[in-house]
Chain A
Amino acid sequence: MDEIGNLLDRPRLYCNIDGLGELAGGAMCLGFALILWPMTHTPAGSVWERIPFFAFVVLMVLIHYGTKAAKTRITYPRTGFVEYRKQWNTSAIAAVSGALAAVGLSVVSRRHWDVSMLAPLAGLAFAAAYGYYFARAVRWKWAIAGAMALTPFVIAFFPTDVLTALGSDSPAAHPARARLSGSILVSLMVYGTMLLVSGGISLWLYLRRTPAPAQDGQ
């Protein structure tokens, strides 16, 4: 029975056989950091405050269609095409979690709460998600998952003035908010880089191990 369970799990693991999922995740993290930067470094009421929504939509569209195009050109001709079953519950959970996280961050930001103590939890959640989606198929990726879990603890030792300077142009006005923004920016950049590195290695290994696309049809 376990063997059947493993077979049923294989298509899910196949989704990131080429590392494109990680590359997309890395691009998303770095893109979010790029969007967050002008938000935290421009005066209130400036035009940059209206741009993030559109930038976010453009980023998501680029990542979605970019991944699709890469799969069509690289993965499907080499190891085959798979169309996954539409699972509304997974999409709904992702949408609700995203909305809750956005609302939570907005409340924290407005009330100037210091939630830096929650950062390690976020790091552990990120590492657990990476472990579940990417690392369980490949052993060496557990090292990346471990590094992800440790990242918030390392960031916690960053000098406060560096984090607040990264988080805002006028950190003296709202130091807790500036520190939070700075921590988020650094975390996004570190996680984005880690995902890009692990996705790049996966893609390189995939290209090395799989034969060039066959042109004789099926």
Chain B
Amino acid sequence: MNQHIRTIADLDRVIHEPGRLMIVALLFAVDRADFLYLQHETAMNKGTLSSHLSRLEEAGYVAVTKTYRGKVPQTLLCLTGTGRKAFEQYRRHLKEAL
């Protein structure tokens, strides 16, 4: 396999999925954000967003904290150190591949 193709094959598939790429990129730019913000920015429905977040949480890229805003439940999300490194590496690989 030549170097160029290997770079494409090395892309992190957890992040490469468009929905998850949006989530990770949005979280990369902030310290933390809540579920409603991600829903507003990505225009995904609750179910789809939840399933993407579960996949990212499984991979150790996103940390989920359940809390309350007054009496209303709130889900706070932030990118972990591993998630940040993975995203930086993904961008580097994508740049090389393109």
Contacts and interface: CB of A to CB of B under 8 A. Distances in A.
Which of B21, B25, B76 gathers most chain A CB within 10 Å? B25
Q: Specify the main secondary structure of chain A where it touches its partner.
A: mixed
B91 interface: yes
Interface in B55-98: 69, 72-76, 91, 94-95, 98
Interface of A: 1, 4, 7-12, 14, 76-77, 79-86, 214-218
A9 to B, nearest CB: 7
B54 to A, nearest CB: 14
B11 interface: no
24 contacts: A1-B91, A1-B95, A8-B25, A8-B28, A8-B29, A10-B26, A10-B29, A10-B41, A11-B33, A14-B37, A14-B41, A80-B33, A80-B36, A80-B37, A80-B38, A81-B74, A82-B30, A82-B32, A82-B34, A83-B33, A85-B31, A218-B35, A218-B36, A218-B75
Interface of B: 21-22, 25-26, 28-41, 69, 72-76, 91, 94-95, 98
B32 A4 contact: no
A83 B30 contact: yes
A80 B35 CA distance: 7
Contact of A4 (B25, B31, B74, B75): B25
A161 B69 CA distance: 56
A1 B29 contact: no
A11 B21 CA distance: 15
Nearest to B90: A4
Contacts of B74: 81, 217-218
B22 to A, nearest CB: 6
Given A1-B95, A4-B25, A83 B31 contact: yes
B85 to A, nearest CB: 16
Contacts of A14: 37, 41
B55 to A, nearest CB: 18
Contact of A1 (B28, B37, B72, B98): B98
A81 B31 contact: no
Most buried by B among A10, A77, A82: A82
Contacts of A218: 34-36, 73-75
A6 to B, nearest CB: 9
Contacts of B95: 1
A8 B26 CA distance: 6
Given A12-B29, A84-B30, A217-B72, A4 B35 contact: no
Q: Which of B28, B36, B69 lies at the interface centre, i.e. has the most chain A CB atoms within 10 A of its CB?
A: B36
